[in-house]
């Protein structure tokens, strides 16, 4: 492991990656902490470009990274300035954004797919990715106007899962619909109420689960075009479940149970 | 509905309620938004003491509240200063903290109880409350050293559920253990791995689910004293589930499925 000191210009460049605009320009994003570093090194979807480490933590990462990855050291104060976390973990990883095109999905699609329509909360998206990975769903599709996949809060909430998944961005529902028809997938829309109760729902071999926006849910058009609708029956008097929670219960029934 | 202008001293008093110390002193806490107001008015556990509303929103709340509750109006700028949210919803509710004592639980306990040991993330606690309420579990026990129940992030993530639940704070596990033995509850500890797979687990009529800290899980002592251990089997290669997600899947099996 070869260490260099973090320069001022480099420092500035990393801070810019906090913003979506620059992430898009640089095709790079930030992840933080030892767990992320280990996940990013193990899985190869988004290659590690470089690591920035607080001086005191340099020793702790040396067994995690290969020699060809540049490592830069910085002070605690500098780490606080480039970190996106309230209490920085002392390790920042810069990864390349790999884009997955729908054409690749067509070649080798899994039997269970998940389509997220306009999910807007980064914590929810990251948590859904983490849960999907737990149940071994690794191909996820995001609609246009979703929260940015490489938002630092998404990356953090995914707890490393983002590094091992094929995530297809900006996929129009129309395209997915055509694909589903051609490949014999059933489109299953999750709706707050009135759908088949999830515990009585019969899985089909090839299924695409559709989940919508936190407050607005799926659009009327998508719900109408889906082959079936499912809901999580409520026994209490609260209005709704958190989106990531609803997703988890459905993923558990589809892929986990 | 009688409106008064928010005074400077009153403004200061509300800002103090952002801190746990003052919430404890005043036995009052903050909730925000129209949904919270409706939940707080419908359910009576934590009575609404007063409402502060941005001038433009005064009309929108008039059908939600009874005449005996004081309503104070303020400017947008004042609202931004007393709100705990990044984008204030224009409505702040001050509620009384009602404490539930374990003696009350002894009188009328439900068959399904949930004990949370040292849960530290406010978003997780609030989300777990919301999910438990969805599955009609309304008696929740918190251990000592949990995050403050009336933390504004807990209240927000609970999405109104907090107003309809009996939440018992600072309950020692020893006390719960004695209670469980006396009343014939089974203590079921959720552990990351090695427990009975949740989908093959047989429910008993009276059950107390035990969930631990986000990173550390339940203590060794609690796991050993539990009657059984359950786990959510993983199919993927991520390390763990988010605590609120794990809680949701287990609550779904216990109370919802």
Mean of pLDDT over chain A: 94
Closest CA in chain A for residue B137? A236
- Candidate from A135, A237, A252 with C-beta closest to B164: A237
Residue B21's pLDDT band (boundaries 50, 70, 90)? very high
Do the Cβ atoms of A252 and B239 come within 8 Å? no
pLDDT digits (tens, 9 = 90+) for A17-66: 999 999 999 999 999 999 999 999 998 899 999 999 999 999 889 888 98
Q: What's the rounded mean pLDDT across residues B40-61?
A: 93
A195 contacts chain B (CB < 8 A): no
Report CB contact under 8 Å: B240, A159.
yes
The total of other beta-carbon atoms located within 10 Å of residue A19's CB is 11
Preferred mutation among B236, B239, B247 to probe A, highest tally of A CBs within 10 A: B236
Instruction: State whether ipTM is beyond 0.90.
Output: yes
Is the CB of residue A115 less than 8 Å from the CB of residue A143? yes
- pLDDT 10s digits, A77-93: 999 999 999 899 999 99
pLDDT digit string, tens, across residues A46-56: 999 999 999 99
pLDDT of B255 higher than 90: no
β strands within B97-241, DSSP E: 112-116, 139-142, 166-168, 186-190, 196-197, 207-211, 228-231
pLDDT tens across B149-177, in order? 999 999 999 999 999 999 999 999 999 99
Q: B109: buried, middle or exposed (CB in 10 Å: 19+, 13-18, 0-12)?
A: middle
Mean pLDDT value of segment A103-127 = 96
Q: Would you call B245 and A133 a contact, using CB atoms and an 8 Å cutoff?
A: no
Q: Which of B134, B240, B245 lies nearest to residue A238, judging by beta carbons?
A: B134
Residue A156 pLDDT exceeds 80: yes
For position A188, what pLDDT does the model report?
A: 97
CATH 3.40.1280.10 range(s) for chain B read 102-256
Pick from B210, B189, B199, B188: nearest CA to B235: B199
Interface membership of B162 toward A (CB under 8 Å):
no
Interchain contact A199–B (C-beta under 8 A): yes
Q: Are B217 and B195 in contact (CB under 8 A)?
A: no
The verdict on B35 touching A (C-beta cutoff 8 Å) is: yes
> CB–CB of A236 and B138 under 8 A?
yes
Q: What is the mean pLDDT of residues A117-132?
A: 97
Three-class DSSP category at A189: strand
Residue B252 in contact with partner chain A when CB distance is under 8 A? yes
- Strand ordering across the sheet containing B48-54: B3-5, B71-74, B48-54, B91-96, B28-32
Report CA-CA distances (Å) from A147 to A109, A121, A227, B122, B161: 24, 7, 26, 23, 27
Are the beta carbons of A235 and B242 separated by less than 8 Å? no
B183 contacts B139 by C-beta, under 8 angstroms? no
What is the band of A256 on the pLDDT scale with cuts at 50, 70, 90?
A: low
* Weakest-pLDDT range from A20-34, A71-85, A135-149, B51-65: B51-65
Residue A257 in this model has a pLDDT that exceeds 80: no
Cβ–Cβ contact B248 with A under 8 A: yes
* B244 interaction partners in chain A (CB closer than 8 Å): 242, 244-245
Cα-trace Rg, chain B: 20
Contacting residues of B for A257, CB less than 8 Å apart: 199
* pLDDT at A179 > cutoff 70: yes
Helix (H) or strand (E) holding A209: strand A207-211
Question: What distance in Å separates residue A4's CA from the closest CA in chain B?
Answer: 32
A3-5 and A186-190 beta bridge pairing: unpaired
**Distances A86 to A37, B2, B202 between C-alpha atoms, Å:** 19, 42, 42
pLDDT at B26: 96
A3-96 fold: 60s Ribosomal Protein L30; Chain: A; (3.30.1330)
Mean pLDDT of A230-238: 88
Ordered alpha helix ranges (H), B90-217: 102-107, 122-134, 152-157, 173-183
Of the candidates A35, A130, A136, which has its C-beta nearest B242's C-beta?
Answer: A130
A28-32 sheet: strands from edge to edge:
A3-5, A71-74, A48-54, A91-96, A28-32
**C-alpha span between B36 and B83 (Å, rounded):** 14
What is the pLDDT at residue B256? 67
- How far is residue A248's CA from residue A236's CA, in Å, rounded to a whole number? 19
Mean per-residue pLDDT for A149-153? Answer: 96
The CATH 3.30.1330.30 domain(s) of chain B lie at 3-96
Q: Is the pLDDT of residue B207 over 80?
A: yes
A contacts of B257 (beta carbons < 8 Å): 199
Contact B249 A244 (CB under 8 A): no
User: By mean pLDDT, which of A18-27, A117-126, B237-246 is the weakest?
Assistant: B237-246
Average pLDDT over residues A59-78: 93
B56–chain A Cβ distance below 8 A for any pair? no
**What percent of chain B is modeled with pLDDT above 70?**
100
B245 CB-near residues (< 8 Å, 6+ apart): A127, A130, A131, A244, A245, A248
- What is the spatial distance between Cα B217 and Cα B76, in angstroms, rounded to a whole number? 43
| Any B CB within 8 A of A234 CB | yes
B130 contact A CB<8A = yes
Give the pLDDT confidence score for residue A48 in this predicted structure: 96
Give the residue on A whose Cα is nearest the Cα of B123. A123
CA-nearest of B217, B173, B171, B175 to B192 is: B217
Q: Is B255's Cβ below 8 Å from some Cβ in A?
A: yes
Residues of B in contact with A156 (CB under 8 A): none
Q: Report the alpha-carbon distance of residue A21 to residue A32 in Å, rounded.
A: 20
User: Under DSSP, is residue A228 helix (H, G, I), strand (E, B) or coil?
Assistant: strand
User: Tell me, what's the pLDDT at A68?
Assistant: 92
Pick the CATH number of B102-256 from 3.40.1280.10, 3.40.50.10490, 2.120.10.30, 3.90.1150.10: 3.40.1280.10
* Out of A160, A234, A237, closest to residue B238 by CB: A160
Average pLDDT over chain B, rounded to an integer: 94
Query: Which chain A residues have a beta carbon less than 8 Å from that of B130?
Result: 238, 241-242, 245
Over range B74-82, report the average pLDDT.
96
CA distance B10 to chain A (A): 31
């Amino acid at each position: 492991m070869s260490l260099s000191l973090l320069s001022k210009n480099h420092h500035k460049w990393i801070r810019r990656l906090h913003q979506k605009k620059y992430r898009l320009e640089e095709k790079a994003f930030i992840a933080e902490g030892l767990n992320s570093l280990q996940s990013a090194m193990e899985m190869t979807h988004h290659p590690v470009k470089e690591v920035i480490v607080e001086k005191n933590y340099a020793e702790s990462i040396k067994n995690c990274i290969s020699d060809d990855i540049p490592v830069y050291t910085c002070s605690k104060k500098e780490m606080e300035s480039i970190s996106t976390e309230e209490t920085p973990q002392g390790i920042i990883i810069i990864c390349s954004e790999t884009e997955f095109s729908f054409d690749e999905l067509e070649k080798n699609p899994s039997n269970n797919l998940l389509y997220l329509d306009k999910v807007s909360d980064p914590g929810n998206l990251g948590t859904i990715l983490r849960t999907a990975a737990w149940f071994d769903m690794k191909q996820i599709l995001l609609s246009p106007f979703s929260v940015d996949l490489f938002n630092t809060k998404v990356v953090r909430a995914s707890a490393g899962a983002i590094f091992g998944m094929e995530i297809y961005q900006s996929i129009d529902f129309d395209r997915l619909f055509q694909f589903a028809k051609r490949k014999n997938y059933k489109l299953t829309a999750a709706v707050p109420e009135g759908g088949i109760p999830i515990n009585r729902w019969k899985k089909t071999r090839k299924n695409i689960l559709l989940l919508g926006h936190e407050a607005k849910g799926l659009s009327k058009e998508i719900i109408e075009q889906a082959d079936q609708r499912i809901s999580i029956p409520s026994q209490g008097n609260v209005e709704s479940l958190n989106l990531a929670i609803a997703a988890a219960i459905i993923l558990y029934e589809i892929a986990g149970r």
